[in-house]
Structure formats: structure tokens, C-alpha cells
Amino acid sequence: MNPVNYLYLSALLFTIGAAGVLVRRNAIIVFMCVELMLNACNLAFVTFSRIHGNLDGQIIAFFTMVVAAAEVVVGLAIILMIFRVRHSASVDDANLMKL
């Protein structure tokens, strides 16, 4: 088996995540699909690192994880705040910029 198969898997996971972001309306599930896309990118980075024989890909994946953690913290705080005001986590209900 060639490691390129990992790239195919990562492409599939990314596609599924992107379709989920387009289809779902619960903000938390949309967020989870974004996480899935980030994870797919990480898998591609790790595989590239192995194909090229240097560790820069793993460094990038590491930074992606850090940024994802920061993103999740802020994003979930925003979802929680919208839920407090609107009593709903659906992205359809948040149709105003102000709360």
C-alpha cells in the first residue's frame, strides 16, 4: 500500500465535513464538521511529512491543532451566548448581527 491512500482518506473526510457544514443547521454540529475538516487536513500534513521525509508537515499539523483549540473555545462561547439570548442553537435563528 502506498501512503497516498492516506491522502485519499483525508480528501474524503474533508469532503464529508464540508458537506456537513453545508447541510446541518445545528450550530454545534456545524462546528463539529469544521473540526472534522481540520482533522482531515492534519492527516494530509502528517502523510506529506512522511512522503517527503522531513518533519515540517508535522509542525504545521501541530500548529493547526493549537489554532483549532483556540477556535473551539471562542466558537463555543459564541454559540453559548447566542443560545442564552435566542434559546436555540440553530443557525437559522441567528439572523441578526446584534443579539
CA distance 33 to 14: 9
Binders of other proteins among residues 43 to 62 (CB under 8 A) are: 43, 46-47, 49-56, 58-59, 61-62
Q: Return the number of the residue (38 or 96) whose C-beta is nearest other proteins.
A: 38
The region that residue 54 occupies, defined by phi over 0 for left and psi between -120 and 50 for alpha, beta otherwise, is beta
CA 87 to chain centre: 25
Among 15, 97, 98, 99, contact with other proteins (rule: CB under 8 A) = 15
Q: Binding-site residue total for other proteins (CB under 8 A)?
A: 71
Residues 71-90 that bind other proteins (CB under 8 A): 71-74, 76-81, 83-84, 88-90
β-bridge partners, 90: 26
